[in-house]
Amino acid sequence: VLSGCGVYDGTEIHEASAILVHLSRGGAEVQMYAPDVPQMHVIDHSKGQPAEAESRNVLVESARIARGKIASLAKLTTADHDAVIFPGGFGAAKNLSTFAVDGKDCKVNREVERVLKDFHKAGKPIGLCCISPVLAAKVLSGAEVTVGHEEEEGGKWPYAGTAGAIKELGGKHCVKEAVFSLTPFYEAHVDTKNKVVTTPAFMCETELHKIFDGIGAMVKNVLKLTGK
């Protein structure tokens, strides 16, 4: 499920690409979706500032990542899929929810909330990375998720405050690294009760290949939970 195209106002493209690569390697068939709604705003990524005169549609922008093969989120049903995965990027906090503005008092897009609740009720796995675990924390009370560490540690974890917000949303935060350790898949947290799998990704200032590997751990665990 995508949220636009571009880290500051949509889907984090490297995360989406990594998820697709790992799903392909795992032999999964993939369908991409996005809500057919206007973006909260448009960011000029060369300046990191809002482009005041512009407006864009989340589905239309997400189609850039999907190479045109995408459908409205309203068409996503549990009957047609074994799992659902949400990449990060600020679009998850701006277009899939109002977390970027409202924090713990945020609202989640109606279709996003429906999808999360439907997959949870069906006992089908949900994967999320970077900032998107806040969606599960808001919608699925008591879900265990990770966004990495709970302290900034000199700038290594610039969004560490999100962990506190997850607790305020009713979720349980679990500290995880963004690097591979001797413990298999250490950098992805698996909430076996709720079948929610999360990994920090770009919540950490680290090398791209480590983020790629962490996302791989998340995808592998999601696929494992499908039982296929």
Q: How confident is the model at residue 49 (pLDDT cuts 50, 70, 90)?
A: very high
Q: Give pLDDT tens digits for 181-216.
A: 444 434 899 999 999 999 999 999 988 998 999 999
Q: What is the mean pLDDT of the chain?
A: 94
Instruction: Answer whether 83's CB lies under 8 Å from 223's CB.
Output: yes
- Give pLDDT, residue 200: 94
**Domain 75-226: CATH class, spelled out:** alpha beta
Instruction: Answer whether 120's CB lies under 8 Å from 193's CB.
Output: no
Beta-strand pair 49-50/43-44: antiparallel
- Give pLDDT, residue 183: 42
Cα dihedral value 209, 214, 219, 222, nearest 10: 180
Catalytically active residues, by annotation = 130
What percent of the chain clears pLDDT 70, i.e. is strictly above it? 96
- Give pLDDT, residue 176: 79
First to last CA, the chain: 21
Three-state SS string across 130-198, please? Answer: CCCHHHHHHHCCCCEEEEECCCCCCCCCCCCHHHHHHHHHCCEEEECCCCCCCCCCCCCEEECCCCEEE
Largest CA distance in the chain: 50
Instruction: Answer whether 70's CB lies under 8 Å from 63's CB.
Output: yes
Q: How confident is the model at residue 116 (pLDDT cuts 50, 70, 90)?
A: very high
Q: What is the mean pLDDT of residues 157-173?
A: 94
Please determine, for residue 83, whether its predicted confidence score (pLDDT) is greater than 60: yes
Measured CA to CA, the distance from residue 106 to residue 226 in angstroms comes to 30
Q: What is the mean pLDDT of residues 23-32?
A: 98
* Buried-exposed string 115-150: b where 16+ CB fall within 10 A, e elsewhere: bbeebbeeebbbbbbbbbbbbbbbbbeebbbbbbbb
Q: What is the mean pLDDT of residues 44-56?
A: 94
pTM exceeding the 0.75 threshold for the entire prediction: yes
* Buried-exposed string 179-217: b where 16+ CB fall within 10 A, e elsewhere: bbeeeebebbbbbeebbbbbbbbbbbebeeebbbbbbbb
Q: How confident is the model at residue 178 (pLDDT cuts 50, 70, 90)?
A: low
Measured CA to CA, the distance from residue 215 to residue 174 in angstroms comes to 16
